[in-house]
Amino acid sequence: MGKEESLKEKLIQSIIIYIRENYPDAIDKAYAYFWDEKDTDEFLSGTALALGFINFEDWLVFDYKTNDKKETFIDIYIKEKKLKGEKNELLNKIKTSNLSLYEVVSVSRDKRILIKDLILAGEFSLRDKKLTRGLKKGEMFGTRLLHLDEGYIMSGCVYPFRSSDKKKVLGYIDRMFGRYKRNENPEGTMKDFLKDYGDIINIAWMNIILNQISC
């Protein structure tokens, strides 16, 4: 693990602890919003339920808007802790990251994974073998990529999708983006949408599980 990645791990855990200690009501509100008021115990269990909570914490830290100024908990933490130096630089570097949907292009002999962004375009090589272990060409998943230590890593969240659901998921996200442009931000880009509504990846994942999404 590189220096930036190691610092990121410590900072994100510190932010999660900070949120739990200072914003318990916000966690409950955000959790209900993230899961669209649904009871996760009714459709998730075991590994999927544990993964769902990891995904929630990632979104809570990076994307959840805490107030009318649309500040995230990273913004609040930087301000409250009066961070300076490398901690401040790293959090400002990663706070603009967004969730997106990726497809595995290739897996090399050394298990290095090449993935492409199905929503924003671009290809990326992943070096985190701990998170990419077992991935195969053609598989699709949602995640947040971070550029640290001169390479790309996954933030820790993973939304596994079947490759057969690609058309459904991309169609759903495109429809929600169209609604966003009509009703909220006519000049908004897809990247703006994914940052403002990163939970769309989770909603798509949840709806696929509940079989409530169509082309």
How many domains does the chain fold into? 1
Q: For residue 189, tell me if it sits in a domain.
A: no
Predicted confidence at residue 135, as pLDDT, reads 82
Tell me: pLDDT of 214 over 70. Answer: no
- Range of the structural domain that residue 85 is part of: 3-94
Using an 8 Å Cβ cutoff, are 82 and 74 in contact?
Answer: no
Residue 212 has a pLDDT of 73
Residues 197, 191: Cα–Cα separation, whole Å? 10
| CA distances (Å), origin 52, targets 56, 62, 67, 88, 202 | 6, 16, 24, 28, 9
Local structure of residue 68 (DSSP, 8 states): T
Residue 52 falls within a domain, yes or no? yes
Tens of pLDDT, residues 175-189: 999 999 999 999 999
pLDDT at 122: 96
Alpha helices in the chain (DSSP H): 3-22, 24-34, 46-62, 73-81, 85-94, 129-132, 166-183, 190-196, 199-209
Question: What band does 50 get if pLDDT is binned at 50, 70 and 90?
Answer: very high
Residue-wise pLDDT tens digits, 69-91: 999 999 999 999 999 999 999 99
Region 96-102 average pLDDT = 97
> For all residues of the chain together, what is the average pLDDT?
93
pLDDT at residue number 131: 61
Asked whether residue 34 is domain-assigned, the answer is yes
Beta bridge partners of 144: 99
- Note the pLDDT tens digit of each residue in 120-169: 999 999 876 666 677 889 999 999 999 999 999 999 999 999 999 999 99
The helix (run of H) or strand (run of E) holding residue 124 is strand 123-126
